[in-house]
Every structure is written in C-alpha cells, then in structure tokens.
C-alpha cells in the first residue's frame, strides 16, 4: 500500500484523470481531491482495509511499547485515548463486511428503486462511506438491466448523478388497482410465520398510499383459516395491535389442536371398547358373518365347504348338483292352513209370489 501511496503522490493531473476515467470515476476537482479519490478506490478494490486490520490486543501492546520507548513521562490517560482512537480507525467496515446485508438491484423485479436507494444510503451512513465508495459499492450491487443501463449511459461518476439516473430510469408510478389486486391474491404460505407474512404484505402495500385498516383487512383475508377462528384478529386497528392478536391467535390454535387430539383419543377408545364388547357378547356385524355360497350354511366359506365335491345346492329341493332355476322336481305348493268357517241353510220350499201385470196374474219365483 505504501508503494501505491507514493505513486499517487508523484502522479500528475493528467495521469490522475486518466486513471480515474479507467475506473469510471469523476475527474472534477483539485489535485488533492483527485489523489484522495484514487487512493480510496484502490484501497477498496484491493481490500486493503481488511488486510491491514490489527487485533485490538496486539495494537495496545505495540502502542504501550512505543510509549515506553519514546517517553516514559507520558500520562496513562493520554496513552489510553490514543489507543482507542487508533482502534476505531482500524475497525472500519468494508463492502465485504456488509455485502450480505445489502440487496442487489436489477430493475427487472418488483423491488422499488427508491426503497433500495434508501436502504443503501442507510448502510453507507452507518459505515461512513464517502461518495467514491458509495458509487463503487452501488455498482457492485447492480445486476441485469440496471447494470447495463449504468454502463451504457456512463452516469456513475458521482453518487448524486448515479442516484438521480437510477431514479429517473427505474422509478415508476404504481397503479393502486394493481396493488389492491396483488394484495388480494397474496395468501399466507405454510412455510411462513405470521410475522414474516405480515412484513411481506406491508412491502407490497408500500407501493401505494393505503390506509392501515385496509392493509390489515387484506392481511387477515389472506390467512387460510376458518373465519370464526380469525374473528379475534378483526378488532386490530394498527399493525402493532395485529401482531399482538397474532400471538393470541397462535395460542388459541395450539389449545384447539391439543383439544382435538384429546377428543380423537377419546373417540378411538370408545370405538375400541364398543368393538370388544360386541365380541364378548358374540355379536358380529353383517360384514363379519361367514356364509358359504355353495351350500348356504353359515360358519364357513365356499373354500371350506365340506360338501364341495357334491356341487352346488338347490335351494328349491335341497339337493346337490343343480341350482333352483334348473330344478326339475315338482315341489307341492304350500297349502293355505288358515281355517275358514262357513254358515249355510237348506231351503226345502221355494219362495213364490203372485203378481198381476196388465190384468194378467202371474206366479213369480224369488231367487237370489
């Protein structure tokens, strides 16, 4: 690193600008500013900060030995303050330290460019990055269309110009109807926790100006549970209240699940006891009764029939070797055994009557 520092100091303005152009960095400013810009870029590319990191313990020992060799009369408080200052300077965060915490931006997905820039600037402020580092690190996070756009437009010489170019190219006004439709279609997945699902719904809702109660309603509707069980959630007016209700909802579901297990266990026990009681009393269901389809007797199946060799049994004449439809014997029909009582009367004389029809006398016989 010392060789690079010496080379940068010796470089002229033209050489500094040429080197910065190769790195796609701004060439505006004084010679001191150009040197500092180039020095920071080279330090970032070579990860010099990480390689030069010294453990605090070792640093304190080195500092103590230096103070002891140089001046034994230096106050102890001064030594401690200097050690703390050097430790803070050495423990600086590089892109490699926070790379996993930053999200890549392609411009092809639904990630909002404004949200991505806000997250990046928040991390840059935390790590105290200068503009040169912001430009370089932001370019490393760009992929897809965003990366091609910056490379083609050559708008990444300063952080302000890069930020403005990304916003103008990839920031779009989202129709609130699309946000409503996406919220209505989004349901909670089985592998998601309620908290994770809530934050994903809030991320979708952040694309438009929606009321909190509307978002809460979409969140509740997207949970695939019984509406009666979800009634505890509908009283929430803020996201914080909804999170508290989710905790109560999970406890209620856990209790209901344990109650169902106990109920199922009781029903299974009752079923087994009733089955054993039937067996003890010699009762069997129709499906468990053995019946032979060859002789018609109970207690065995066709394969176990003792009269198997005789053939099929005729249920008309009870003989083996044929079936009832082909039976040739005349079996007397069963007589009616019902007793009938009849009353009769013998008439010895005939019933007659003398009648006159048009002055003609006739004798009529009365017969039923």
137 Cβ contact list (under 8 Å, min separation 6) = 44, 95, 120, 124, 129
* DSSP codes, 65-89: HHHHHH-TTS-HHHHHHHHHHHHHH
37 Cβ contact list (under 8 Å, min separation 6) = 20, 25, 26, 29, 132
Please report which helix (H) or strand (E) contains residue 43, including its range: helix 31-45
Whole-structure pTM value: 0.39
* Residue 6: per-residue pLDDT: 63
- Nearest-CA neighbor of 233 among 207, 247, 329? 247
Positions in the chain short of pLDDT 50: 1-2, 47-91, 283-286
Q: What is the pLDDT of residues 188-241, one digit of tens each?
A: 988 888 888 998 888 888 777 788 888 999 999 999 888 888 888 888 888 888
Tokens found for residue 223: 């949970």
* Residue 344: per-residue pLDDT: 61
Cα 292 from Cα 50, distance rounded (Å) = 89
* Residue 102: per-residue pLDDT: 86
Cα 247 from Cα 276, distance rounded (Å) = 44
* Residue 72: per-residue pLDDT: 45
- Under a CB-based contact definition with an 8 Å cutoff, are residues 25 and 37 in contact? yes
Tokens found for residue 256: 């209901």
* Residue 91: per-residue pLDDT: 44
Tokens found for residue 93: 């965060």
Q: What is the pLDDT of residues 74-116, one digit of tens each?
A: 444 444 444 444 444 444 567 777 888 888 888 877 677 888 8
- Under a CB-based contact definition with an 8 Å cutoff, are residues 49 and 94 in contact? yes
- CB atoms near residue 55 (< 10 Å): 10
Rg (CA), the chain: 51
Tokens found for residue 237: 């007016």
């Amino acid at each position: 690193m010392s060789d690079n520092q010496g080379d940068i100091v010796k470089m002229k303005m033209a050489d500094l600008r040429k080197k910065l152009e190769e790195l796609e960095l701004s060439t505006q400013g004084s010679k001191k500013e150009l040197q500092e810009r180039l020095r920071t870029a080279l330090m970032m590319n070579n990860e010099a900060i990480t390689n030069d990191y010294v453990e605090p313990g070792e640093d304190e020992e080195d500092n103590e030995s230096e103070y002891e060799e140089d001046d034994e009369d230096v106050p102890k408080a001064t030594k401690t303050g200097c050690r703390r200052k050097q430790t803070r300077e050495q423990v600086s965060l590089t892109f490699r330290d926070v790379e996993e915490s930053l999200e890549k931006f392609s411009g092809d997905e639904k990630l909002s460019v404004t949200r991505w820039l806000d997250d990046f600037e928040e991390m840059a402020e935390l790590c105290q990055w200068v503009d040169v580092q912001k430009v370089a690190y932001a370019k490393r996070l760009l992929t897809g269309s965003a990366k091609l756009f910056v490379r083609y437009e050559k708008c990444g010489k300063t952080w302000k110009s890069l930020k403005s170019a990304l916003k103008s190219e990839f920031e779009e006004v989202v129709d609130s109807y699309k946000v409503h439709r996406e919220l209505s279609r989004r349901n909670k997945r089985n592998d998601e926790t309620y908290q994770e699902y809530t934050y994903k719904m809030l991320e979708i809702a952040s694309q438009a100006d929606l009321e909190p109660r509307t978002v809460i309603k979409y969140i509740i509707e997207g949970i695939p549970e019984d509406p009666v069980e979800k009634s505890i959630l509908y009283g929430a007016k803020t996201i914080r209240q909804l999170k508290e209700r989710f905790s109560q909802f999970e406890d209620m579901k856990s209790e209901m699940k344990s109650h169902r297990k106990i109920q199922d266990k009781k029903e299974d026990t009752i079923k087994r006891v009733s089955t054993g009681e039937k067996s003890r009393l010699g009762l069997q269901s129709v499906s468990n009764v053995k019946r032979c389809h060859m002789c018609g007797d109970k207690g065995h199946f066709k394969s176990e029939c003792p009269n198997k060799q005789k053939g099929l049994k005729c249920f008309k004449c009870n003989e083996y070797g044929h079936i009832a439809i082909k039976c040739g014997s005349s079996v007397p029909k069963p007589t009616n055994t019902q007793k009938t009582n009849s009353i009769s009367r013998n008439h010895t004389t005939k019933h007659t009557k003398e009648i006159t029809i048009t002055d003609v006398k006739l004798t009529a016989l009365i017969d039923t």
